[in-house]
């Protein structure tokens, strides 16, 4: 759904080097009604978007599925982060320190339930500008700056009036997706910032097991993806099934 | 004397007629009280039920008539004399059934597996698993074949790929690199950050 969106696809194609990776087969559930009618659905899928350096170092992660506009906005933020890290690397050769500063500020803001944004700020000038050199990228929790950034990019909160979407075109306005997006941006990203603050430099392969287990609640080492207790605890024939 | 008799009879008839006219109908109020008169005459529905009994009377003769007609139309069939002589067995020409190819494929493979030693069996199974394994950790070139069937280690046998139950779809409108390493390589040249999208399942399959 997300990558079929024209705006999202065009933005990614223009600003990123994209690749996708499967971490394991997706569990599906098939219900055979016995009259020729068979319904198949995904049981417990989950996704994560990593933004990385050219050496594969993880800069940040967007956990789970997002509404398209919010996803675009966050990708824009992570693109700024990438530039900030590149700049710091070129100037002081300390990308780790720059990343540490970013994750510490973001974790602190989210811990206090404060939103945060990365803004490009010209040296010795507090106004927001978009130039290619002599800028410092800072975390700025000010609502005013966020509003201006959003207005500049044409990003607004997605209308979320649809309780039960009837087609894929209605999915961006699905209320459940809006709720999930909000949880991603608050609870899940807080966990990620705190973890990256502790681990420092890491790669997607090193991070994925922790991410899927602790943040997305899908334990990749568990054949039942952490759903075993739900499936078997109150089921008298559990041993036969697991046989 | 005879006149007296006629008079008496006429008197009785008149009395009876006036008595009948004075009796109210069922449900009517009587002149002497509020209680309605209960109709004690036999229920006409019961009479209909009785008619149902007569159905048999109608059907019976009809059946007889039909049996008689069939007997007239049908040629007289001579009952076979009961003997102990067995009937000669007439051999019917064999009917060719369509070959159960799917079953044969399953059974043939199973039979060959049974004939294999444990080591050979393990080698075969490993080869099958390796061939059927989805392209984990790749974004492009190492993805499984789009063909719904594929050759197996069992030479000419073909099995249905599980992909047919999870149809291929376009992985969005993004121009994906083949894998993460290729994206990193491209990033070194373009100066753009790498975006890695991780998921359960395959992005180019319907169920992900």
Per DSSP, the residues of B119-172 read: HHHHHHHHHHHHHH---TT-SSTTSPPS-SEEE-SSTT-EEE-GGGGS-B---T
B155 — phi, psi (to 5°)? 35, -105
Q: Please give the interface size between A and B, counted as residue pairs whose CB atoms are below 8 Å apart.
A: 168
> What pLDDT sits at residue A26?
81
Q: What is the average per-residue pLDDT within A24-31?
A: 83
Q: What is the average per-residue pLDDT within B3-23?
A: 64
CB pair distance less than 8 Å for A79 and B193: yes
Distance from CA of A134 to the nearest CA of B (A): 18
Alpha-carbon distances of A96 from A41, A67, A76, A140, A219, rounded to whole Å: 42, 30, 21, 20, 29
C-alpha neighbours within 13 Å on the C-beta side of residue A153: 21
The alpha carbon dihedral of B30, B33, B35, B37 has a sign of negative
Per DSSP, the residues of A69-104 read: HHHHHHHHHHHHHHHHHHHHHHHHS-HHHHHHHHHH
What proportion of chain B, given as a percentage, has pLDDT over 90?
A: 12
Collect contacts of A23-26 with beta carbons under 8 A, ≥24 apart. Answer: A23/A208, A23/A212, A23/A220, A23/B136, A23/B198, A23/B199, A23/B200, A24/A220, A24/B136, A24/B200, A25/B134, A25/B200, A25/B201, A26/B199, A26/B200, A26/B201, A26/B207, A26/B208
CA A206 to chain CA centroid, Å, is: 17
Whether A199 maps to a domain, the answer reads yes
Whether A93 maps to a domain, the answer reads yes
Averaged pLDDT score across all residues of chain A? 79
Whether A231 maps to a domain, the answer reads yes
CB pair distance less than 8 Å for A21 and B138: yes
A16 lies in which domain range? 6-159+169-242
> What pLDDT sits at residue A55?
93
CB pair distance less than 8 Å for B194 and A17: yes
Measured between CB atoms, does A45 come within 8 Å of chain B?
yes
Q: How many domains does chain A have?
A: 1
Whether A164 maps to a domain, the answer reads no
Q: What is the average per-residue pLDDT within B188-199?
A: 95
Higher pLDDT, B35 or A223: A223
CB pair distance less than 8 Å for B184 and A44: no
Residue A203 has which token pair?
A: 């790669």
CB pair distance less than 8 Å for B193 and A25: no
pLDDT bin (cut points 50, 70, 90) of residue A217 is confident
pLDDT in tens, B97-123: 444 444 444 444 444 444 555 666 567
- Which residue carries 């530039």 as its tokens? A83
> What pLDDT sits at residue B134?
45
Task: Show the DSSP H helices in A46-67 as ranges.
Answer: none
Check pLDDT > 60 for residue B22.
Answer: no
Identify the weakest region by mean pLDDT among A62-66, A196-200, B28-32, B162-166.
B28-32
Q: In a 3-state reduction of DSSP, which class is residue A132?
A: coil
Measured between CB atoms, does A160 come within 8 Å of chain B?
no
Whether A42 maps to a domain, the answer reads yes
Q: In a 3-state reduction of DSSP, which class is residue A168?
A: helix
Within 8 A of B186 by CB-CB distance, chain A residues are 17
> What pLDDT sits at residue B103?
45
> What pLDDT sits at residue A195?
96
CA angle A30, A34, A39 (to 5 degrees): 30
Higher pLDDT, B146 or A169: A169
> What pLDDT sits at residue A114?
78
Whether A1 maps to a domain, the answer reads no
Pick from A127, A6, A140: which is nearest to A68 by CA? A6
Q: What is the average per-residue pLDDT within A80-96?
A: 77
> What pLDDT sits at residue B160?
34
Distance in angstroms (rounded) separating the CA atoms of residues B123 and B108? 18
Q: Are strands A17-24 and B194-200 parallel, antiparallel or unpaired?
A: parallel
User: Does ipTM exceed 0.85?
Assistant: no
Averaged pLDDT score across all residues of chain B? 60
pLDDT bin (cut points 50, 70, 90) of residue A87 is confident
Within 8 A of A24 by CB-CB distance, chain B residues are 136, 200
> What pLDDT sits at residue B99?
47
Whether A58 maps to a domain, the answer reads yes
Distance from CA of B26 to the nearest CA of A (A): 59
Check pLDDT > 80 for residue A132.
Answer: no
Greatest mean pLDDT range, A67-71, A234-238, B68-72, B175-179: B175-179
Distance from CA of A78 to the nearest CA of B (A): 9
What proportion of chain A, given as a percentage, has pLDDT over 70?
A: 74
> What pLDDT sits at residue A178?
83
Residue A50 has which token pair?
A: 């990593």
Query: CB-based contacts of A207: which residues, under 8 Å, 6+ apart?
Result: A50, A58, A61, A195, A199
Which residue of chain A has the CA closest to B137? Answer: A21
Check pLDDT > 70 for residue A160.
Answer: no
Residue B22 has which token pair?
A: 């004075």
> What pLDDT sits at residue B137?
40
Q: What is the average per-residue pLDDT within B164-186?
A: 85
What proportion of chain A, given as a percentage, has pLDDT over 90?
A: 30
Whether A33 maps to a domain, the answer reads yes
């Amino acid at each position: 759904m997300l990558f079929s969106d024209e705006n999202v696809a065009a933005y990614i194609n223009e600003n990123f080097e994209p690749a996708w990776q499967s971490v394991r087969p997706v569990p599906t559930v098939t219900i055979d009604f016995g009259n020729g009618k068979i319904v198949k659905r995904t049981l417990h899928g989950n996704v994560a978007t990593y933004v990385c350096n050219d050496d594969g170092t993880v800069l940040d992660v967007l956990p789970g599925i997002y509404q398209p506009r919010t996803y675009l906005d966050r990708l824009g933020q992570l693109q700024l982060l990438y530039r900030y890290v590149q700049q710091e690397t070129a100037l002081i050769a300390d990308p780790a320190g720059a990343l540490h500063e970013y994750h510490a500020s973001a974790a602190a803001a989210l811990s206090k339930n404060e939103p945060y944004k990365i803004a490009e700020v010209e040296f010795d000038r507090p106004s927001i500008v978009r130039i290619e050199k002599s800028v410092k990228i800072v975390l700025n929790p000010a609502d005013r700056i966020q509003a201006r950034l959003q207005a500049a990019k044409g990003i607004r909160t997605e209308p979320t009036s649809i309780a039960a979407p009837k087609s894929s075109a209605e999915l961006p306005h699905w209320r459940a997706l809006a709720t999930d997006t909000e949880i991603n941006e608050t609870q899940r990203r807080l966990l990620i910032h705190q973890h990256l603050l502790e681990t420092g430099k890491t790669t997607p392969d090193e991070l994925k097991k922790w991410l899927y287990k602790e943040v997305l609640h899908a334990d990749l080492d568990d054949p039942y993806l952490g759903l075993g207790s739900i499936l078997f605890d109150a089921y008298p024939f559990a041993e036969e099934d697991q046989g | 004397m005879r006149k007296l008799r006629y008079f008496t009879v006429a008197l009785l008839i008149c009395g009876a007629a006036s008595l009948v006219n004075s009796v109210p109908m069922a449900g009517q109020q009587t002149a002497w009280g509020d209680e309605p008169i209960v109709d004690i005459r036999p229920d006409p529905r019961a009479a209909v039920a009785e008619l149902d009994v007569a159905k048999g009377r109608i059907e019976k003769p009809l059946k007889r008539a039909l049996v008689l007609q069939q007997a007239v139309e049908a040629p007289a069939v001579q009952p076979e004399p009961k003997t102990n002589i067995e009937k000669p067995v007439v051999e019917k020409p064999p009917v060719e059934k369509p070959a159960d190819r799917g079953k044969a494929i399953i059974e043939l493979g199973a039979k060959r597996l049974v004939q294999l030693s444990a080591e050979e069996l393990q080698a075969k199974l490993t080869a099958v698993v390796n061939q059927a394994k989805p392209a984990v950790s790749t974004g492009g070139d190492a993805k499984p074949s789009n063909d719904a069937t594929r050759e197996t280690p069992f030479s000419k046998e073909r099995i249905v790929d599980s992909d047919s139950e999870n149809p291929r779809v376009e992985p969005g409108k993004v121009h994906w690199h083949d894998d993460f390493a290729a994206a990193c390589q491209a990033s070194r040249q373009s100066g753009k950050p790498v975006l890695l999208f991780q998921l359960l399942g395959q992005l180019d399959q319907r169920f992900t």
